[in-house]
Structure 1
Amino acid sequence: GDFVEVYNEESQESAWDAVVTCFFLDTAHNIVEYIEIISKVLKDGGVWINLGPLLYHFADSYGPDDDMSMELSLEDVKRVA
């Protein structure tokens, strides 16, 4: 399964001391959903370390057959996180 399917399970809630993502956020259709799941799976006091671009694979999707995506600036990502 994909990230949302696997880690949005109740069994993953507060299960991890740390989450490390590498060249990952740019794969999200909805970056807010990814950040919410990362927050949910972290234990209290847990840390999230991210390395990678905020250049989205879906940024140029405009047609009716294209997947929709949400893009945030670095400042927006910091506010959401």
Structure 2
Amino acid sequence: MSLAKPAMRGLLAKRLRFHLSIAFTMALAAAVAFKYTVTEPRKQAYADFYKQYDAVKDFKAMREAGIFESVRPSGE
């Protein structure tokens, strides 16, 4: 009983084809997972925030609180 000869010719190309396909598939899966678990909820949170956001009201509240040095409160 003898051992089979190892396949050395074309081994690198064969292994690269195998590993590159796995790497590409995993990278694609990671990108899709990131898109739907991070970016889509973040975009929805921004959209929900700006639906009800009133910049003028927020500015007036900050002005009354004295945050801005160059803007006087409306009472003065």
Same fold by TM-score greater than 0.5: no
More helix per residue: 1 or 2? 2
Q: Name the structure where strand makes up a greater proportion of residues.
A: 1
Structure with the larger RCO, 1 or 2 (CA within 8 Å, 6+ apart): 1
The TM-score normalised by the length of structure 2 is 0.20
**Please, what TM-score do these two structures have when normalized by structure 1?**
0.19
